[in-house]
Structure 1
């Protein structure tokens, strides 16, 4: 019987059945196609050796520690990242708490204490530009030499380029989402950009207009372009509905409202309050507009619904991961 995926902290001793595995190391924010090239190498190596495949990440993202003054749009918060890695076939996600103290560890201490001591790694897989330890003193050559000293192998994976020969990166995907280019971002991710959160109560104005919405507050750092999107809505029980979603501040109703993701879920009339649900973005329909009254707003919402239904009617999965997330 296959063991369930585990999400563990590197602060605690690693469970014995996970020690001695192949470990993919990196932040993997987005788990995009570039990351998947590294992750697939780790999975293949683990299958070849007959050992567990693990992912070691750092939480929070190191940029939040080193540059706390600059907001960072995290593409895949830890729960979402864990679900993606589980679907790819990993046994566990090991989260290393990242703070100034950890950042001050020497490269040798990272290898000795974390990779060798806690994980008991037999093989490490990472990107060609991975650096670690105080002042980034550890690099690819250091990791390979350390592996020889400590008895584990190392695989370095070159940068992954898309069909246009451009490197796929999280920063590039963030820039696309900031412009509402969710379809192009999906091409780099290998799946539709997805957010998740608890459905909360709202003003219920949509219900009175005939468009009841499931409202979710996203992180303040979510730098998705405000506007109207064609989406798929996944409930906690796994059922999926097409929908149209508004992300923004609802300028017609409340100029000072906090940003919300409000999804009109097609062909659904149940109670969603309190559920942890996911929304996958398939297409940007339009920017937000301030209408001259509710009648004009309702008329546009009907056009949005028709456009979203038409767009979603012909979509196909981009990958197995996309099929598992949004189909």
Structure 2
């Protein structure tokens, strides 16, 4: 995806360690947390960062950690990540922040005392003037650092602290990453997207397939996702970013029970599209869940259902409107219907 940006806006800066942290972000306002999903609750933190940064006339950026602490402490448990680092950076940039700092979360970092994190990293290394965190953010060895501890430390060290309270949805429930993971796993894509404030997307490289989709009249671009991904198996209306251009399509996530019931793969059929996609990286956003995956008695029955799926996907996509300014910024790129014909994708695959 590409992002809207004013001509005078400074380039987004991404650092993956303290040693890489640019001088241009020092003395700024930092939002701190894991931010998996960068959902509407997280966006309240980002908004506060931007407000404080604008008020103080300094840069505003995000600090996060990699791998996610949950994956570090319990590596034996599968963990469905909503936003890997590259996706998180993309969303943060689209939101309007000046940069993002990813701190490596390893045994040495986990053993740091809360006081060391505040005094050495925040105050000395980054020279922050203000920090913003969520109500449930804890840090330091044994999670000893709390929002109140951060606030009192800031008072002693000379930087301000804002704590953002929980954000609720229209039904009064707290918006959380776990709710969104659960919704995606159940095929409740519209609900997940509403909680996120943008349409959730995955990214992957198109791999070789058995070209069965092309034989069915529905060539697909095949993408293997993270094994811990818990997307509900089934058929989705999707939008796909290919070489900076937005396309509409329909996708199957699952094992192809009509054929081989094989390895789980995301098969994307891009509407009105020709070319070669092998080896390309695609971003696929899930618009809506159409139906579950099922086994058909004949190829003819499968093709007839694929025709119905495609028509339903086109209808769902035709009615789309941006969910928020962030959603609009993420997709502020040419649409294939309005763009010149490009060498895009025949993406031959399984279907």
- TM-score range (shorter-chain normalised) is over 0.9
* Residue in 2 that maps onto 1:146: 153
When structure 1 is superposed on structure 2, of 108-117 and 216-225 the one drifting more is 108-117
Within-5 A mapping of 1:1-327: 1-236=8-243, 238-255=244-261, 257-326=262-331
1:153-177 superposed Cα distances (whole Å, 9 cap, x missing partner): 1000100011111000000000000
Q: Judge conservation of contact 2:95–2:329 (CA < 8 Å) in 1.
A: no
- CA drift of 1:294 comes to 1.5
Distance 1:151 1:170 in 2: 32
Query: Is the contact made by 1:14 and 1:118 (CA closer than 8 Å) also made in structure 2?
Result: no
Query: How many residues were matched structurally?
Result: 325
For 1:193 and 1:239, how far apart are their aligned partners in 2? 17
In the alignment, the residues of structure 2 paired with residue 253 and residue 5 of structure 1 have an alpha-carbon distance, to the nearest angstrom, of: 46
Q: Is the 8 A contact 1:173 1:185 kept in 2?
A: yes
Alpha-carbon distance in 2 for matches of 1:201, 1:118: 46
Structure 2 spans left out of the alignment, 5+ residues: 1-7, 333-351
Deviates more, 1:158-167 or 1:193-202: 193-202
Partner-residue secondary structure (3-state), 1:31: coil
TM, length-normalised to structure 1? 0.97
Relative CO higher for 1 or 2, CA cutoff 8 Å, sep ≥ 6? 2
1-structure distance, mates of 2:312, 2:16: 44
Q: Which runs of 4+ in 1 moved over 6 A?
A: none
**SS where residue 207 of structure 2 aligns?**
coil
| TM-score, structure 2 normalization | 0.90
Please say which of residues 136-145 and 9-18 is displaced more in the overlay.
9-18
Whole-angstrom CA distance in 1 between matches of 2:15 and 2:292: 41
1:2 positional shift? 3.0
**1:61 positional shift:** 0.4
Matched residue SS, 1:272: coil
Is the partner of 1:12 in helix, strand or coil? helix
Work out whether residues 229 and 285 of structure 1, in 8 Å CA contact, stay in contact via their aligned partners in 2.
yes
Please say which of residues 158-167 and 316-325 is displaced more in the overlay. Answer: 316-325
**Counterpart secondary structure, 1:307:** helix
Alpha carbons 1:231, 1:282 under 8 Å: kept: yes
In structure 2, C-alpha distance between the alignment counterparts of 1:94 and 1:31, rounded to whole Å: 15
Q: Distance in 2 between matches of 1:35 and 1:138?
A: 19
Are the equivalent residues in 2 in contact too, given 1:198–1:276 (CA < 8 A)?
Answer: yes
Structure 1 residue 151: Cα displacement? 1.1
Cα distance in 2 for partners of 1:11, 1:217 equals 33
Alpha-carbon deviation of 1:271? 1.3
2:272, 2:201 → 1: CA distance? 21
Q: Which runs of 5+ in 1 are unaligned?
A: none
Is contact 1:192–1:326 with CA below 8 Å preserved after alignment? Answer: no
Shift of 1:326: 4.4
Q: Deviations over 1:71-103 (max 9, x none)?
A: 111001000000000011111110011122211
SS of residue matched to 1:247: strand
RMSD: 1.2
